[in-house]
Amino acid sequence: MNREQTEGRREKVATLESRGVSVYPDTFRVNYEIHEAATLEDGTSSVSVAGRIMSIRNFKKLIFITIEDIEGRLQLLLKRDEVGEELFNRFTECIDIGDFIGVEGAMYTTRTLEKTLRIQNYTFLGKALRSLPEKWHGLSNIETRYRQRYLDLMMTKETQNRMLARSKMVRVLRRFFEEHGFLEVETPILQHTSSGALATPFKTYHHSLDTELNLRIAPETYLKRLIVGGFTKVFEIAKCFRNEGVSPQHLQEFSMVEGYAAFWNYKDTMKLMREMVLYILDQTFGATSVLVSGQSIDFAKEWEVISFRDLILQRTGIDIDLFPDLENLYEETKRRKIVLDHPDILSLGRGNFIDLLYKKTCRSHIVDPTFLIQHPIELSPLARSNDQDPNLTDRFQLVINGAEVINAYSELVDPIEQRKRLKAQAALKARGDGEAMEMDEDYLTAMEYGMPPISGWGFGIERLLMVLTDSDSIKDCVLFPLTKKV
């Protein structure tokens, strides 16, 4: 921060106040948003807009000003002979880039074909005491962009567009599911057990109840309780928390969209998810093709469907079906010189080991939208086992450009089998697998009251946005990503 600049701006505040100008007024009435005003026909009068000043070009008797907000920009023209000496001099002496201004006037188009509002009157709306980063260079420091996202939003058009796309995408998602008969619901964030996914939870403490609680890792088991209670189609946009490692594809706090449909199986959900992605692309971006890592992906084409076993076999030569024992499978990966980085690899269950193998050797090679199916049952403790092969589950993941975007399956609704699997998960947790699930007696009790056939799905909004906007990091897809305290 330039101290001289800041002091100079404070002096301008004092000058404005001494002239009876309210430096921080409580309101200003606009009749157009900035992006709306920029589309008005020439001659439109009584136009009232407001925004932050992002550039000033002073030509002595006239000044061109640009104001902006998150959705648009507009050029203004301030002329001495049209607004009078007092307002003109006040602007030149006291107003800076970064300040807020409200203006009234009429629209015209300059000789350079730029829509411009000729100011008839203006109102000062707020002083910025700090200078903005230089407009032409923007914010090059990545940490600053994350820690001071408000500056990033001011200075970086790409960030503005991505965050606007995120808001629009959430509206589109809600509309899509509502049009397909799903009801939006809310379920608890504070939970006694960490269930619904394989992940390490954040822990907290409830003083009044004198009990430890977890921040939810997924809304799954509560949404399925609602199916027990009589709902047939539900979805939730849920804040979730997973205490896992930092990577370009993972957030510890993220927004998940999860939903369930009674009487469906995973193939019904597969069809719905394809339709949803195409709907999002059309309604949010106006196209069904996006550029990802320099390659155009046409989502309107057929999506490949491949089994977990076949994918790993293609990439590594290992047939996981031939290695039902974790130790033998691990030895086979070492024999093939496949390095799997993990501090205590044999503490993993076979399912998590296979998942690690897939992530290290296969996932990054998937570019086009691909449905990955038939996951090992150990990897899917809440999924229904396949009727033909009970060692597999009726599950799919949508993978695009090396990112797992959607996870879905036919749900396990047999409470006896569910208890057996949760016991196995609890045993893994006791052995040190921090991502294994806990025993959840309350959920098992709900299941024992009877559940219909169910299929469910879940995906992170940030992960999907990251893929569709070809972002380098998932942190670019959340307004305020968690950063290390300085």
CATH number at residue 51: 2.40.50.140
* 76 close to 116: Cβ distance less than 8 angstroms: yes
Q: What pLDDT score does 137 carry?
A: 56
Give the end of a domain, one of 68, 98, 132. 132
Whole-number Cα distances in Å, 299 to 143, 161, 249, 304, 338: 33, 21, 21, 11, 33
* 194 close to 217: Cβ distance less than 8 angstroms: yes
Q: Look at residue 355 and tell me if it is in a domain.
A: no
Same domain, 56 and 128: yes
Q: Look at residue 485 and tell me if it is in a domain.
A: no
Q: What pLDDT score does 13 carry?
A: 97
Q: Look at residue 183 and tell me if it is in a domain.
A: yes
The packing angle between helices 350-361 and 326-335, to 10°, is 20
Claim: this prediction has a pTM higher than 0.95: no
Q: Look at residue 219 and tell me if it is in a domain.
A: yes
* 379 close to 355: Cβ distance less than 8 angstroms: yes
Q: What pLDDT score does 377 carry?
A: 86
Q: What pLDDT score does 71 carry?
A: 96
Same domain, 241 and 383: yes
Percent of the chain having pLDDT more than 90?
80
Which residues have CB under 8 Å from 206's CB, separation 6+? 190, 212, 213
Same domain, 164 and 258: yes
Q: Look at residue 472 and tell me if it is in a domain.
A: yes
Per-residue pLDDT band at 485 (split at 50, 70, 90): confident
Report the pLDDT averaged over residues 137-154: 84
Is the pLDDT at 38 greater than 90, yes or no? yes
Same domain, 94 and 200: no
User: Which residue type sits at 108?
Assistant: Y
Q: Look at residue 148 and tell me if it is in a domain.
A: no
Q: What pLDDT score does 36 carry?
A: 98
Is the pLDDT at 4 greater than 70, yes or no? no
Same domain, 198 and 245: yes
Q: Look at residue 235 and tell me if it is in a domain.
A: yes
Same domain, 117 and 158: no
Q: What pLDDT score does 427 carry?
A: 87
Give the end of a domain, one of 78, 101, 132. 132
Same domain, 127 and 198: no
Domain count, the chain: 2
Per-residue pLDDT band at 310 (split at 50, 70, 90): very high
Q: Look at residue 412 and tell me if it is in a domain.
A: yes
Give the end of a domain, one of 79, 100, 132. 132
Q: What pLDDT score does 436 carry?
A: 76
User: Which residue type sits at 32?
Assistant: Y
Measured from the Cβ of residue 375, the count of other Cβ atoms closer than 10 Å reads: 25
**3-state DSSP of the chain:** CCHHHHHHHHHHHHHHHHCCCCCCCCCCCCCCCHHHHCCCCCCCCCEEEEEEEEEEEECCCEEEEEEEECCEEEEEEEEHHHHCHHHHHHHHHHCCCCCEEEEEEEEEECCCCCEEEEEEEEEEEECCCCCCCCCCCCCCCHHHHHHCHHHHHHHCHHHHHHHHHHHHHHHHHHHHHHHCCCEECCCCCEECCCCCCCCCCCEEEECCCCEEEEECCCCHHHHHHHHHHCCCEEEEEEEEECCCCCECCECCEEEEEEEEEECCCHHHHHHHHHHHHHHHHHHHHCCCEEEECCEEEECCCCCEEEEHHHHHHHHHCCCHHHCCCHHHHHHHHHHCCCCCCCCCHHHCCHHHHHHHHHHHHCHHHCCCCEEEECCEHHHCCCECECCCCCCEECEEEEEECCEEEEEEEEECCCHHHHHHHHHHHHHHHHCCCCCCCCCCHHHHHHHHCCCCCEEEEEEEHHHHHHHHCCCCCHHHHCCCCCCCCC
Same domain, 197 and 230: yes
Per-residue pLDDT band at 439 (split at 50, 70, 90): confident
Q: What pLDDT score does 424 carry?
A: 86
Q: What pLDDT score does 138 carry?
A: 56
Per-residue pLDDT band at 341 (split at 50, 70, 90): confident
Question: For the segment 84-138, what is each residue's pLDDT rounded down to a tens digit?
Answer: 999 999 999 999 999 999 999 999 999 999 999 999 999 999 999 999 987 645 5
CATH number at residue 395: 3.30.930.10
Q: If you average pLDDT over every residue of the chain, what do you get?
A: 93
Q: What pLDDT score does 135 carry?
A: 61
Same domain, 235 and 165: yes
Same domain, 85 and 176: no
Same domain, 400 and 278: yes
Question: For the segment 453-484, what is each residue's pLDDT rounded down to a tens digit?
Answer: 999 999 999 999 999 999 999 999 999 999 88
Per-residue pLDDT band at 244 (split at 50, 70, 90): confident
Is the pLDDT at 433 greater than 80, yes or no? no
Is the pLDDT at 68 greater than 90, yes or no? yes
Note down the domain range covering 397: 154-303+368-477
Whole-number Cα distances in Å, 277 to 177, 205, 299: 12, 39, 8
* 396 close to 270: Cβ distance less than 8 angstroms: yes
Report the pLDDT averaged over residues 280-309: 94
Same domain, 391 and 423: yes
Is the pLDDT at 2 greater than 70, yes or no? no
Distance CA 407, CA 477 (A): 19
Q: What pLDDT score does 139 carry?
A: 67
Question: For the segment 420-432, what is each residue's pLDDT rounded down to a tens digit?
Answer: 988 988 888 788 8
